[in-house]
């Protein structure tokens, strides 16, 4: 089962459907490529902080540091090339990513209702 931060990132931040969020998580779990494995482990480690006060704040700056938009786009494309993710699924994820970017290609400001609560 995907960890809470993954749920926040995919469901609340990007607005993906539960099925697509789960499909992307499974693709990351199956991947053998270094970038995907590293990201997968980083997401798992994020939720291992024992208390919310010890985790970074989930704001634009933190999201940019943890999961830069360009890195996520590259990661999705790598999963397609590795055949862990179908093109149609990747396109939906990439469309959701693009909707969250500003004109400079960075994350838009977070809306209050999207705050991460574990």
Q: What is the pLDDT of residue 20?
A: 98
pTM to 2 decimal places: 0.81
Q: Write out pLDDT tens, residues 20-57.
A: 999 999 999 999 999 999 999 988 887 776 555 455 55
Q: What is the pLDDT of residue 10?
A: 92
Q: What is the pLDDT of residue 25?
A: 97
Q: How far apart are CA 8 and CA 23, in angstroms?
A: 15
Burial 31-66 (b: 16+ CB within 10 A, else e): beeeebeebbeebeebeeeeeeeebeebeeeebeeb
How many helices, marked H, and strands, marked E, lie in the chain?
6, 0
């Amino acid at each position: 089962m995907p960890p809470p931060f993954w749920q926040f990132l995919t469901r609340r931040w990007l607005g993906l459907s539960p099925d697509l969020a789960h499909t992307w998580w499974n693709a990351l779990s199956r991947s053998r490529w270094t970038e995907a494995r590293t990201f997968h482990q980083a997401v798992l480690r994020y939720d291992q902080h024992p208390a919310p006060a010890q985790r970074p704040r989930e704001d634009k700056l933190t999201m940019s540091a943890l999961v830069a938009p360009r890195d996520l786009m590259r990661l999705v494309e790598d999963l397609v090339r590795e055949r862990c993710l179908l093109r149609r699924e990747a396109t939906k994820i990439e469309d959701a990513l693009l909707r969250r970017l500003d004109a400079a290609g960075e994350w838009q400001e977070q809306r209050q209702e999207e705050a991460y609560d574990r």
